[in-house]
């Protein structure tokens, strides 16, 4: 697999997948919030939204690990 500047195509695939997943989750949250008055009373929207927010936070954290170039790239540059 070709690598350059501490990145590879696979790494960019992960970045794109995480970013898309975050966007989809945010749109779902907003849609539920917009329609909050249409849900039955037995559905705990606050709990669901909190879970979604935690999931997005986890995805952002994981995405940030892929955004940084591989340390091995910088190690080679210092030699």
Strand partners, 4: 7
Q: Above 70 in pLDDT, residue 57?
A: yes
Question: Sorting pLDDT into bands at 50, 70 and 90, what band is 20?
Answer: very high
Mean pLDDT confidence for 3-27: 94
Which pTM does this prediction carry? 0.80
User: Mind giving me the DSSP string for the chain?
Assistant: --EETTEEHHHHHHHHHHHHHHHHHHHHHHHHHHTGGGS-TTS-HHHHHHHHHHHHHHHHHHHHHHHSPPHHHHHHHH-
Q: Above 80 in pLDDT, residue 38?
A: yes
Query: Mean pLDDT for the chain?
Result: 89
């Amino acid at each position: 697999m070709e690598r350059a500047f501490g990145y590879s195509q696979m790494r960019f695939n992960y970045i794109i997948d995480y970013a898309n997943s975050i966007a989809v989750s945010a749109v779902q949250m907003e849609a539920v919030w917009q329609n909050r008055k249409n849900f039955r009373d037995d559905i705990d929207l606050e709990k669901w939204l909190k879970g979604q927010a935690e999931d997005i936070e986890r995805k952002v954290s994981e995405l940030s690990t892929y955004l940084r170039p591989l340390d091995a790239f910088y190690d080679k540059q210092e030699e």
